[in-house]
Amino acid sequence: MSPPSTTPSSTTTVVEASEIAETVARAVREGGRFAGLLGAARPDAPPVLRAILAFPERFEIYESALATTRRLPALTPLVPAAAWYERELHDLLGIVPVGHPHLDPLVIPSDDRSLRRGEEGERGRAGGATARVGGTGVFSIPYGPVRSGVFESVEYRIETTGEEIHQLAPHVFYKHRGLERRFRELPYEDAPLLAERVEGTCSVAHAVAFARALECLGEVEVPRPAELLRVLHAELERIAVHLDSVIRHTEGAGQAEAFARLSLHKERIQRLRAQLCGHRFGRGVVVPGGVSGPPSADGRRVLDEVRRIQAALADDLDALMSTPSFLDRLHGTGVLAPEVVEAHGALGPVARGSGLAEDSRLARPYGAYRDLDLEPAVLTREGDALARQQVRLFEIGQSFHLVRQALDQLVEGAQGPWQIEVPPSRGLALSWVEAPQGELLYLVEAEPGHLVTVKPRTASFHNLALFPQAFGGDIFTDFVFVEASFGLSIAGVSG
């Protein structure tokens, strides 16, 4: 090991590639939360592997350059949460984690090697993507990639005896768009636009996370009014994403009236966002160094509209949550035990529904969250779809609270400045935000005026790996609720 180099709130330690698995496993044993294992291709140098561990006060990064070999001891047998990360590394960089229990294709289908950039790796064939289910009468059916309804494309391979779902393997490679490669190819100035499109339903979270990485490298402090506007947009986004999850539950439960009412509220939120910036998803608002400019709507009028939407929404949500036929469908459905969630290091509402309270806005506050008032989501340990829903409803309330605080302060006469110049700089930065689906990380390595690596680690990627474990005795008609209660974006998983 070489001496650690330090950037604010994260420490990078260089380790031998052959030792990285053991080093990470030790860190997990010592209380670290495994937060990702990410690879980076480089034009004239061997690829680099970076493992991210979260500790209460900081992140630790373990870094290895793969100078001589692409084969290294697998981390998955020691830290099962690494399984999808190693499959992705195998797909994208041809890295072979020796001893990985099921090295199936994840983001690139096995029959399409044209998309792969790195060296060919060996394709592991030790069993399928899930443990085999024994017994007679078990058969496997593909659900997707084109599904009934308006969904993102994903295939769930379901093993069933007819009604009960025994095993399930998500196949996300259908919509792999080659984001890593695009991040490498695009000019410096265009990268923020691509960040907004990694998960298009949370463009603001991605734009903020990416900007924060550059701001960390450039050592600049974003002006206060810009931080407030970021919070305003990020929290409106969270309300919309959480509402979308609730709406999908009502659709699945056939609650037509609630579906219509909540869809109307969501539409109002989207229109409010368009009023504030000209775009229904807040694209173009966040730029490195701040925001692109003041809001384009009058703060007081927006505040009135926010109050109206909040009151009407709260009323309808109260009614929904006292509709027994709706609650029955969610209760006891898709249960994730607290130990499972903890072992996986699950993120966001999925983790909070099982009692894991961590929220980046509180645990590692950034920007205006440092002093705005925010309460942690209620602690429930039920771990079912209903618990995840209750977490989201609580968070919607808190988001409105944050929106109103930010607006109040902006109305108080914030005249800017809205942006500060970010000097081009060199180095590695890890940034984090609490996206609607949970902690979103960006690992950015830059040379002056040039980005060597941009690697988002979405909560959707981390959490979807846990999805199959939520099916314990659940039947087909539960599927829609389990999926909606995870509330993930496939675009953010397939890369």
Partner 1 sequence: MAWVWRGLREGIVTTRYPRRDDGYGPGYRGSVRVAAGADPSVLPARPVEAAPSEQVSGAEGVMSGPDAGSGGGPGVLGLSDVVDRCPTGAIGIASRIPGSETLQIDRGGCILCGRCVDARPDRFTFDPRVETAALSRATLVVPQLDASIGEAQALEGLRSDLWRRVKALRRSVHIRHVDAGSDGSEEWEVAALTNPVYDVGRLGIFFTASPRHADLLLVTGVGTVGMASALRETFAAMPEPKIVVAAGTDATSGGLLRHDAANCGVGAIVPVDVWVPGSPPSPFSILHGILLGLGVLLKIRSTQ
- Residues within the interface to partner 1 (CB under 8 A): 108-109, 112, 114-115, 145-146, 148-153, 173-179, 181-182, 185-186, 189-190, 193-194, 197-201, 203, 244, 257-258, 260-261, 263-264, 266-267, 270-271, 274-275, 278-281, 283-284, 292, 296, 315-316, 319, 489-492
Q: Please, what is the minimum distance in Å from the beta carbon of residue 263 to partner 1?
A: 4
Nearest by Cα to 69 from 35, 113, 20: 20
Phi, psi at residue 431, to the nearest 5°? -120, 160
Q: How far is the CB of 190 from partner 1 (least distance, A)?
A: 4
Neighbours of 140 (CB within 10 A): 15
CB of 162: closest distance to partner 1 in angstroms?
21
Residue type, 172: V
Q: What angle do CA 365, 368, 374 make, to 5 degrees?
A: 65
**C-beta closer to partner 1: residue 228 or 285:** 285
- Ordered alpha helix ranges (H), 331-470: 338-344, 348-352, 360-363, 385-411, 459-464
User: Which residue lies nearer to partner 1 by CB, 326 or 366?
Assistant: 326
Q: Which positions ≥6 away from 17 have C-beta within 8 Å?
A: 49, 64, 65, 66, 67, 69, 72
Measured from the CB atom, the residue of 186 and 340 that comes closer to partner 1 is 186
In the bound state with partner 1, the residue whose beta carbon lies nearer, of 58 and 181, is 181
Q: Which of 126, 156, 131, 151 is nearest to 141 (CA)?
A: 156
Between 198 and 234, CB nearer to partner 1 = 198
Q: Which residues contact 450 (CB under 8 A, 6 or more apart)?
A: 188
Closest approach of Cβ 470 to partner 1, in Å?
21
For partner 1, the closer CB: 248 or 344: 248
Instruction: Return d(Cα 268, Cα 220) in angstroms, integer.
Output: 35
Q: How far is the CB of 439 from partner 1 (least distance, A)?
A: 18
Q: By C-beta, is 30 or 111 nearer to partner 1?
A: 111
Q: Would you state the torsion angle of the CA atoms of residues 66, 70, 72, 75, taken in this order, to the nearest 10 degrees? A: 90
Residue type, 100: H
Cross-strand partners of 45: none
Which lies closer to partner 1 via its Cβ, residue 135 or residue 149? Answer: 149
CA quadruple 30, 35, 37, 39: dihedral sign:
negative
We find the least distance from the C-beta atom of residue 57 to partner 1, in angstroms, to be: 33
User: Could you tell me the smallest distance in angstroms from the CB atom of residue 227 to partner 1?
Assistant: 22
State the Cα–Cα distance between residues 88 and 143, nearest whole angstrom. 22
Q: How far is the CB of 449 from partner 1 (least distance, A)?
A: 15
Query: What's the chain's length in residues?
Result: 495
For the chain, what is the total number of helices (H) and then of strands (E)?
16, 15
Closest approach, Cβ 307 to partner 1, in A, equals: 16
